[in-house]
Chains A and B, each alone.
Chain A
Amino acid sequence: MKKLSARRRHPLAAVVVLLLALAATGGLYAAFAPADKAQADDTAQSLAIDEGKKLYAVGCSSCHGTGGQGSSDGPSLVGVGAAAVDFQVGTGRMPLQQQGAQAPKKKVIYNQAQIDQLAAYISSLGAGPSVPTEKQYNPDGADIAKGGELFRTNCAQCHNFTGEGGALTHGKFAPSLEGVSPKHIYEAMQTGPQNMPSFPDTTMPEKEKKDIIAYLDAVNGEKTQSPGGLKLGGLGPVSEGLFGWIFGLGSLIAVAVWVAARTAKAKKS
């Protein structure tokens, strides 16, 4: 102790104290910081961020700005989270082909590894919802009836009662949910892509999201039965009535005209 105290006026003492303080702060931070923040220092993760940054600079920065801060052509991506990237890029909505009312679903141009790298970069810009795990969105064993109730309360107004989609204002629309993977449905509810409102876990817990996915799988999935056939878009009584009036009544009128136009006389005039 005496030795230490003797050198306290040494020209390098300040530097040593500073280094010690820095090490202590860093050590304490590493020990107490939240686990996900600690993961950010992982080498694989920072590699993914670097790769994602490169992909971002090529494919996204012209609209969303070089640092994801947004521009007049695209919103800021700070804080949207990995789930938003995985949804937008994973369904082909991004990168945008052209500016318009709404980005439509199209061919996916990045592979899943690249999407993960982009997501890693974007989530490094600001905290946001992360990509859900299989356990979170897998609808096995979920309550389909409860999901139906939740779907009708929260989703059916735009997406139609069996998820067939519907129109909104000025060329915007709620897309059909047929063939959308459970992961993407989950991410859409979590992040609220484009004009869709989000349904965060605070107002719609994970279990309820699962119930909704199970309901959609039951009424609009691959194995959904359509006992009547010809569901005419599943839009409800309006399309069915219109079909009945135009084609049903139309064919009756056509038969009546055909019967009356042909004479039964022996001498055709």
Chain B
Amino acid sequence: MSSQEIPEENLPSKQVTEPEHGSVAVADENPFADPGLPPHQHRIQDIDERAAKRSERAIAFMFMLSMLATVGFIAAFVTIPADKSVFIWPIGHISGLNFALGMTLGLALFCIGAGAVHWARTLMSDVEVADERHPIEAEPEVRAKVMADFKAGAEESQFGRRKLIRNTMFGALALVPLSGVVLLRDLGPLPEDKLRHTKWAKGKKLVNMNTHEPLRPSDVQVGSLTFAMPEGMSEHDHDFQTQIAKAALMIVRIQPENIKDKRELEWSHEGVVAYSKICTHVGCPISLYEQQTHHVLCPCHQSTFDLSDGARVIFGPAGHALPQLRIGVNEEGYLEALGDFEEPVGPAFFERG
């Protein structure tokens, strides 16, 4: 309660003036005296030895049950085959071993806890004990001695007199943490321009991720969805995941008259368009393609891109459109890239520009 809420006549300054009027006799004892602890109430176990015995037996029973459950756990582990399925209402068909292990271990742990709580509540002493607080400040003479000792020490070290030592020590102490900072550089190689380039390059064929065969424009039908990787990559490459994380491509076909963006039309081949599969928000793989609206949804944060309009962001937190790969057809009739992505794929980074 703040002071504004106290009625004026009750303010301490007003109250002390009251006895002068002699109207109210103020009692000598402090009205805010510590009332002390309420009288201690006994539990039935404190009074009745038979009840205490019952409690003891109950606690021991729970500890024994825990022991049995542990034995049961070991027995279940040894005897129940891992692939045996049992029907348990209301869960349904589940692995018998999982169920037995979970139940016995749960029971073993629960009984230890329940026994301990019952023990503390019914048998361990519950007499209220007050521990008085006392000031943590040291005695004045102790403090004076510590200050005198410190001063004498500083004097003897000549810290104040020999400024060269003092200043070089400060310098040394200030520089030493730099080693720790420099070591942070070893957290990894600098990205250099890795974020700006992918495996796509001029003349690389678009290879179907399902069949691992290069794609022809006629393979890609309107309304279909195909994923491609650059020619020359294999799932067994040691850096496959690193590379596909940037190079992953989704290919759809849109009737050229339905493509609203001029550059998209120019970079497509007979309506076949190729976009990066990596969301420009935080880099989730996105391919929740709705073939009637040509919208692509990111499952992580619901960014939505319109593939018929330059993959423009139409909803959600993504900052820029999905990068488009410029494609054409080589002399053998296969779809090929006409270069790398023009802009970095995936999420923005500080130097992206």
Footprint of B on A, CB under 8 Å? 150, 153-154, 157-158, 166, 168-169, 172, 174, 192, 194-200, 202-205, 208, 225-230, 259, 264-267, 269
Contacts and interface: CB of A to CB of B under 8 A. Distances in A.
Nearest to A75: B292
B210 A228 contact: no
Contacts of A227: 85, 94-95, 98
Nearest to A150: B210
Interface residues of B, number: 50
Contacts of A157: 285-288, 299
A259 B117 contact: yes
Contacts of A168: 288, 290, 297
Interface of B: 41-47, 85, 88, 91-95, 98-99, 117, 121-122, 126, 208-211, 215, 218-221, 223-227, 252, 285-293, 295, 297, 299, 302, 304, 315
10 contacts: A153-B227, A158-B288, A195-B291, A198-B291, A203-B220, A204-B210, A208-B210, A229-B99, A266-B46, A267-B41
B110 to A, nearest CB: 10
Given A169-B315, A208-B210, A228-B98, A203 B215 contact: yes
Contacts of B290: 168-169, 172, 195
A197 B223 contact: yes
Contacts, number: 110
A157 B191 CA distance: 29
A203 B226 contact: yes
B117 A154 contact: no
A166 B44 contact: no
Nearest to A224: B93
A197 B289 contact: yes
Contacts of B302: 169
A264 B126 contact: yes
A198 B94 contact: no
B95 A195 contact: no
A10 to B, nearest CB: 52
A251 B351 CA distance: 49
A181 B270 CA distance: 36
B43 to A, nearest CB: 5
Query: Which secondary structure dominates where chain B touches chain A?
Result: mixed
Would you list the 6 A-B pairs with minimal beta carbon distance, nearest first? Answer: A197-B225, A229-B94, A227-B95, A202-B219, A229-B91, A195-B290
B211 A194 contact: no
B221 A169 contact: no
A265 B43 contact: yes
Contact of A265 (B42, B220, B221): B42
A195 B293 contact: yes
Nearest to B228: A203
Nearest to B298: A157
Contacts of B117: 259
Contact of B94 (A154, A205, A228, A269): A228
Nearest to B216: A202
Given A153-B210, A229-B92, 8 more contacts: A150-B210, A154-B227, A169-B295, A169-B315, A196-B291, A197-B291, A200-B224, A226-B93
Contacts of B121: 259, 264
B223 A192 contact: yes
Given A195-B292, A198-B291, A264-B126, A226 B92 contact: yes
Given A195-B290, A265-B43, A229 B88 contact: yes
B299 A203 contact: no
A153 B41 CA distance: 69
B282 to A, nearest CB: 16
Given A168-B288, A195-B291, A198-B224, A203 B208 contact: yes
A194 B224 contact: no
Contact of B210 (A154, A198, A264): A154
A228 B95 contact: yes
Contacts of A199: 224-226
Nearest to A169: B297
Nearest to B292: A195
A150 B208 CA distance: 12
A227 B315 CA distance: 40
A202 B223 contact: no
A198 B223 contact: yes
Contacts of B293: 195
Contacts of B99: 229
A205 B212 CA distance: 12
A54 to B, nearest CB: 29
A153 B211 CA distance: 12
Contacts of A197: 223-225, 252, 289, 291
Contacts of B88: 229
